[in-house]
């Protein structure tokens, strides 16, 4: 009887949540009309960050903060679909970490389309065939995805926002009984990142390498004696269960993804700008690079060099720094920097990501 009474209380709470969700939806529709009238972007990453950050700080109860982010991510996603259904292109295939990043950023209410190449994504956005594109930029272990930077050189697309994703691996199957598993499927990168767990728990047992995780899902979904290594979000999408949780070797592996759009992200109080440039061949080139930022008191967040394709001994620099391109100090610093550059490209000014999807 006590359980039934508690369940009745839960039903009452659920009814209140449902009523409030519909109240929120009505407000969202009015906001959507205002955005159309004033030609504003439907998706506002800075506003999204503020909502999620505020709710986590405000949360003093038993509901986990990570779940607060997940629940309100879907509420925001559904709300955006009421204003305007978003069409997102991401680097596929399905079940990659780029796919997971797109889901965690835009939610299940957005229309996500898997593309086979970065060039396809850039081309589709330039032709207005999608609202946003999600592409990988770097991994804290494997470094920068150089092909993404190469495509920026000849493209007018901008970085609209970023996604920081913690790289996690779980063992997934049709059930949760580890003793019934005789074969594991995994991408080579996943095997490498879970090598310690494999040596301890799966030494000399059957492992099948696959070129992408979606191939493994196809096999595991039909055979209860098999499992795959993937992120737990994949289990929720394909009705798979977690057999062993967090089997990766390191918990400090993060990946950074970019959300691309043809237009600039609006100014907020916490922005960063990314630029790509090559220096003229002169004495003290690197010190000349630093001077404009020191002069205008702009903090550099990162600086990295990479070789230019088909041009031996030449390199370009990727630099992230505090501030937005609309700020006078940033404009003046870049004008000073440009004097010493053969090539300078502003990739985007966008809000810093505070939400780590972990």
What is the spatial distance between Cα 69 and Cα 87, in angstroms, rounded to a whole number?
A: 22
In eight-state DSSP terms, residue 11 is: H
Bridge partner residues of 125 (DSSP): none
pLDDT at residue 141, rounded to an integer: 64
Average pLDDT over residues 233-260: 92
Q: What percent of the chain has pLDDT over 70?
A: 93
CATH 1.10.520.10 fits 1-83, yes or no: no
DSSP strand pairing (300-307 vs 132-139): unpaired
Residue 90 has pLDDT above 60, yes or no: yes
To which CATH superfamily is domain 271-356 assigned? ACT domain (3.30.70.260)
Distances from the Cα of 81 to the Cα of 29, 32, 78, 161, 244, angstroms:
10, 10, 5, 19, 35
Residue 312 has pLDDT above 60, yes or no: no
CATH 3.40.190.10 fits 170-244, yes or no: yes
Residue 248 has pLDDT above 70, yes or no: yes
Average pLDDT over residues 240-250: 94
CATH 3.10.20.30 fits 86-165, yes or no: no
Element (DSSP H or E) covering residue 205: none
Whose CA is closest to 170, among 216, 203, 222? 216
The two structure tokens encoding residue 265? 């992200």
Residue 106 has pLDDT above 60, yes or no: yes
Taking residue 52's Cβ as centre, other Cβ atoms within 10 Å add up to 18
Same CATH fold assignment for domains 170-244 and 271-356: no
Element (DSSP H or E) covering residue 340: none
Taking residue 62's Cβ as centre, other Cβ atoms within 10 Å add up to 5
Average pLDDT over residues 221-229: 95
Residue pair 306/319 in contact (Cβ under 8 Å)? The answer is no
All structural domains of the chain with their residue ranges:
1-83, 86-165, 170-244, 271-356
């Amino acid at each position: 009887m006590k359980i039934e009474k508690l369940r009745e209380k839960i039903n009452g709470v659920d009814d209140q949540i449902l009523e409030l969700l519909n109240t929120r939806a009505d407000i969202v529709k009015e906001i959507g009309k205002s955005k159309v009238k004033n030609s504003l972007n439907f998706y506002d990453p800075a506003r999204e960050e503020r909502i999620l950050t505020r709710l986590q700080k405000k949360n003093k109860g038993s509901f986990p903060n990570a779940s607060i982010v997940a629940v309100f991510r879907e509420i925001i996603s559904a709300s955006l679909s009421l204003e305007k259904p978003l069409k997102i292109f991401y680097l596929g295939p399905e079940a990659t970490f780029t796919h997971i990043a797109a889901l965690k950023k835009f939610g299940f209410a957005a229309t996500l389309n898997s593309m086979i190449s970065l060039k396809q994504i850039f081309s589709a956005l330039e032709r207005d065939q999608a609202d946003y594109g999600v592409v990988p930029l770097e991994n804290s272990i494997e470094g920068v995805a150089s092909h993404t930077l190469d495509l920026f050189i000849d493209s007018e697309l901008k970085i609209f926002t970023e996604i920081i994703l913690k790289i996690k691996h779980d063992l997934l199957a049709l059930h949760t009984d580890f003793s019934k598993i005789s074969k594991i499927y995994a991408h080579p990168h996943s095997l490498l990142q879970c090598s310690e767990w494999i040596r301890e728990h799966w030494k000399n047992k059957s492992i099948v390498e696959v070129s992408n995780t979606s191939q493994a899902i196809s096999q595991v979904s039909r055979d209860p004696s098999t499992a795959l290594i993937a992120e737990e979000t994949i289990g929720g999408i394909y009705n798979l269960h977690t057999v062993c949780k967090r089997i990766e070797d390191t918990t400090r592996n993060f990946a950074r993804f970019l959300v691309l759009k043809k237009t600039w992200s609006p100014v907020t109080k916490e922005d960063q700008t990314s630029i790509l440039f090559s220096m003229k061949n002169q004495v003290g080139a690197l010190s000349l690079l630093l001077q404009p930022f020191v002069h205008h008191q702009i903090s550099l967040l990162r600086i990295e060099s990479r070789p230019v394709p088909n041009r031996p001994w030449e390199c370009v620099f990727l630099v992230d720094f505090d501030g937005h391109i609309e700020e006078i100090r940033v404009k003046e610093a870049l004008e000073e920097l440009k004097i010493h550059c053969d090539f300078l490209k502003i990739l985007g000014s966008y809000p810093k990501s505070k939400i780590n999807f972990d």
